[in-house]
Structure formats: C-alpha cells, structure tokens
Amino acid sequence: MRGKRERLLREMYAAMHARLGPSGWWPGETPLEVCVGAVLTQNTAWTNVTKAILRLRDAGVLASGQALLSLPEADMSELIRPAGFFRLKAVRLRNLLRFLDDACGFDFSVLAGQELDYLRPRLLNVSGIGPETADSVLLYAVGLPTFVVDAYTRRILHRHAMVPDDIPYHELRDVFMDVLEPDVPLYNEFHALLVRVAAQWCRARAPRCADCPLCPFLDGGGA
DNA sequence: ATCCGGGGAT
DNA sequence: ATCCCAGGAT
C-alpha cells in the first residue's frame, strides 16, 4: 500500500519546511551555470564546486555557452581543478555543452517546451551525464518536473527505513514521482530541504538525530 | 570492482 | 598524515 508512503513523504516535507522555511535554493545564477555545477558536483561537495565556478566566472568564460566551448580543454581542466576529477569533468562538461549547443543553441526555453520523456533519454545518452546530473539539469536549468535524487536523499530515506541502502537510482526517484504530482517548485524545494537536512543533521558520520527536523519520523521517534 | 582528485575532518 | 565524502564510465 502506498497511500501510507505518500502521507509519510508529505509529512516529512511539511516538517522540514516548517523548521527550515523555504530554501529559495537554486544551484546557479543562470541555466548555463546550473549545468556547469551539475557536472562539477559529481561525487564532490558543493564547497569545492563553488570555488571552481568562481574561477570560471573570474576568467569570464561563464558568460555564454560559446565562451565555455571555445575554451581549450587544458585551460578548462585547470580552472575547474578545485572541483576534483578535473580532467574527467572537463571532458564531461564539454560533452554536455556540445549537446546543449546543437539541441537548442543554449536557448533553454526551447528545451523547456520539450517532453521530459523525450529529452531525458537524450541527455542520458551524453557520455558523462548519468541520471542525477541529467535530472539536475532538467529540473534546475530547464524547469521540467523530474525529481533529483542524490546520496543525501538515499541516506535520509534509508536511515528512516523507507528504502534499502542499495536501492537503484531510478527506483528511488520513483518513490517520489509515483506519489508526488509533477510540480517543479515542489521538486525543487523538496530536494533542497533534503540537502539541507543531510548537511546539518543527517550527516554521513556523527548524525545529529536528536534535534533533526525529521526526528519524529525515526523508528521509535514518536508520532 | 576500479578508476578518476580535490577539500575538510580527524 | 591519513581518512572520509560524493557520480559515472569501463
């Protein structure tokens, strides 16, 4: 029965929102920047990504997709070095930029008019773009209603005994999308709240369950 | 199962 | 000086 899971997810959302308020969170100033961040943040912390983005901004190459594309790969690697896996990510970012260039010429409103089920597989077909990166681009840069799942999401739901630890990406995504109506602001805010809870309370080591907004939903946490 | 690399915590 | 953290490809 999944009416129970639906109620639980909505209550968790409400609890986080009540404690933390609206996040107003967007992982970048522009859609282009969101795409850059989506690649750079693969398997790395946001603090590192921020440094890399700043370096790109200061170098003036973040102004347009063309500027980024015309940057030699060696220069790109060096600029994004703080984000880690920098040679790999320079290639992956280039792949994504090339895709965006010929899919829409960096006019993201064109992509916003396309079907999620059409665009998502195409994005996943780009080498270096996996499900999380694709969903992050689709939700935050394009504005299509796909739920972004990450290690934080997995950890929080697993610790609340809602999913197995090794649940595949698409199944975890379905946990949300099977139950939540397609709603970009809702998906945006839900993900943002999970990220904030994971960072401040549901940390990988030394979690602070006692005063976590999701404490009431813990096994034996009352309610 | 292993590789790719950095920053922060311990 | 290590250990730990976080996606995707092969």
A24-53 pLDDT, tens digit each: 888 899 999 999 999 999 999 999 999 999
Please report the pLDDT score of residue A222 as a whole number. 46
Please report the pLDDT score of residue A220 as a whole number. 62
DSSP notation for A136-150: HIIIIII--------
Average pLDDT, chain A: 96
Q: Chain C bases under 7 Å from protein CB?
A: 4-10
- The residue among A100, A121, A142 that closes a domain is A142
Q: Is residue A84 very low, low, confident or very high in pLDDT (cuts 50, 70, 90)?
A: very high
**Residue A223: inside a domain, yes or no?**
no
Q: What is the CATH number of the domain that holds A130?
A: 1.10.340.30
Range(s) of the domain holding residue A74: 31-142
- The answer, yes or no, to whether residue A221 has pLDDT greater than 60, is no
Report the candidate in A13, A11, A1 with the shortest Cα–Cα distance to residue A223: A11
Taking the CA of residue A174 and the C1' sugar atom of nucleotide C9, their distance in angstroms comes to 24
Kind and range of the H or E run holding A49: helix A46-58
Report the candidate in A80, A104, A100, A99 with the shortest Cα–Cα distance to residue A90: A80
Q: Are residue A52 and residue A111 in the same domain, yes or no? A: yes
Q: Are residue A106 and residue A89 in the same domain, yes or no? A: yes
A48 nearest nucleotide via C1' and CA: B7
Q: Are residue A192 and residue A124 in the same domain, yes or no? A: no
Taking the CA of residue A84 and the C1' sugar atom of nucleotide C3, their distance in angstroms comes to 17
Domains in chain A, number: 2
Mean pLDDT of the A66-91 span: 98
Nearest residue to nucleotide B6 when comparing alpha carbons to its C1'? Answer: A84
Q: Is residue A113 very low, low, confident or very high in pLDDT (cuts 50, 70, 90)?
A: very high
Classified as helix, coil or strand, A25 is coil
Backbone torsions φ then ψ of A167, nearest 5 degrees = -60, 130
Backbone torsions φ then ψ of A150, nearest 5 degrees = -140, -175
